[in-house]
Amino acid sequence: MLRMSNIGKIYRTEHVETSALQDFSLEVRSGEFIAVTGPSGSGKTTFLNVAGLLETFDSGTYELDGRDVSQLSDDKRSDLRNEKIGFIFQGFNLLPDLNVYDNIDVPLRYRRMKAADRRERIDNVLTLVGLANRAKHMPSQLSGGQQQRVAIARALAGEPAFLLADEPTGNLDSTMAGQVLDLLGEINARGTTIVMVTHDPELARRAHRSVHVVDGKIARVLGERAIVARVAQAR
């Protein structure tokens, strides 16, 4: 579970203070698929960076799977991020000089996993995203949708509990975007919690809940009743 309470985040320069998040409170239950929407500059990406332990915050509390992250050292935050969180970015962020297999392998090597364990994980995630026959291809040999699926496979190889996606379909046409959203839906159905930032209201409707952010605050939440009903039914 991801729980933020009254989070505040301020960016400071020599002459200006910009409040990116103000009294931001959100709880994401395990297994949910949450869309975060809002205009440019509303604080969506800042929220995602704080949620992903890429940025600190100035006030409030944040618990990730029951751990108060504000009490953790930088090294402990990094360990928790590597253990619990996977990232998908709009720009794919693939290394152009490495093939598909090696792009997925790099972060696993940083975790000092054995070669056999890495190979098993890479084979599994490539099969899941439908790219088992593209392992030796270079990023330049893939379509945009295929590159994003490689990026998803790279994130999943670490077996994260939370998958954070920042405009994952922003560089894709509608057909490819739909395929990526279908894949994220399948991943969520397997139990991975997904938080996706998007400008597209149509994509947001694919999520269980849609959280709309304006000026660093949550303006409204859509789909709450459906989630409550689903959780109650599961019990």
- Of all residues in the chain, what percent carry a pLDDT higher than 90? 74
- Round to the nearest angstrom and report the end-to-end CA distance of the chain: 17
pLDDT at position 88 is: 93
Provide the total of helices (H) and of strands (E) in the chain, helices listed first.
8, 10
Band of the pLDDT at 224, cuts 50, 70, 90?
A: low
Per the prediction, the chain carries an average pLDDT of: 90
Mean pLDDT, rounded, for 33-54: 94
Mean pLDDT, rounded, for 3-29: 94
Domain spans in the chain, listed from the N-terminal domain onward: 2-234
User: How many other C-beta atoms are found inside a 10 Å radius of the C-beta of residue 139?
Assistant: 18
Please determine, looking at this structure, whether the domain spanning 2-234 carries the CATH number 3.40.50.300. Answer: yes
- Using a cut of 0.85, tell me whether the model's pTM lies above it: yes
Cβ-contact 50, 7 below 8 angstroms: yes
| CA dist., res. 103 & res. 60, Å (int) | 36
Tens digits of residue pLDDT in 65-74: 989 998 899 9
